[in-house]
Amino acid sequence: MADNSKDKKPKDDDTPKIHDKRKIDPETGEPRVEDSTEAAVDEEPTGVEDIQILDAEGPDEEFSEEDLELLAAAERDLVAEYRERAARAEAELKNFRTRVERDRQANREAVIAEVIRSLLPVIDDLDRAEAHGDLVEGAALTLVAQKLRAGFEKYGLAKVGEKGERFDPNRHEAIVRIPSSDVEFDTVADVIETGYLLGERLIRAAKVAVSSPE
């Protein structure tokens, strides 16, 4: 049987193909011009089909009256909610400002009270000097006492404890109690040391002698 293998030509698919993709020709050193035909052959198919791009907006959608009413109601609720939040925030801010102002006033009164409390012994000495007739009208010490008292009164300093007034344990300190048939309730019989009030704040309680009913 004759061997016909010599007459058979090699198939193109079986023959290895070598593609030289170098941009510079190694023999001439010149840049190569890419063959569009070869590039088209070497290009691998992507296998991606054309995709039809739909209109992003889509067809016009019509809303029913019920949908429009629901949207309007939701909008009204949202507006009412924001108004309520704004009113609440405004009220909180107002309360905060009120607290700050109240604390500031309380701190101011506390500082003034502390300063006045430290100067009360000076006022007591001036009162004793006046009681002994040492404060003569026109004298330098008399003018100092007047200015000092006027300055304290400007801040609302007031005396506490007068003879004949009803005894108040919140403002008076009883040093002596004297039974008496002339009174129907505890009454200040004598003021031993004057007390002072700064506004509604008690700086010092008055030390008094009290007449109590028998």
* Domain locations along the chain: 156-214
- CB contact at 8 A, 44 and 19: no
What was the pLDDT predicted at 207?
Answer: 94
In 104-205 the beta strands, taken as DSSP E runs, fall at 157-160, 172-180, 187-193, 195-198, 201-204
Q: pLDDT class for 54, splitting at 50, 70, 90?
A: very low
Label the pairing between strands 201-204 and 195-198.
antiparallel
CA-nearest of 32, 180, 199 to 116 is: 199
Q: pLDDT class for 142, splitting at 50, 70, 90?
A: confident
- Report the topology of domain 156-214: Nucleotide Exchange Factor Grpe; Chain A, domain 2 (2.30.22)
What was the pLDDT predicted at 40?
Answer: 46
Average pLDDT over residues 75-82: 87
* Average of per-residue pLDDT values in the chain: 78
What was the pLDDT predicted at 21?
Answer: 66
Query: Rounded to an integer, what distance in angstroms lies between the CA atom of residue 32 and that of residue 25?
Result: 6
pLDDT digits (tens, 9 = 90+) for 96-120: 999 999 999 888 888 888 988 999 9
CB count within 10 Å of CB 211 equals 22
- CB contact at 8 A, 200 and 184: no
CB count within 10 Å of CB 131 equals 9
Q: In the structure encoding, which two tokens stand for residue 125, read together?
A: 């000495």
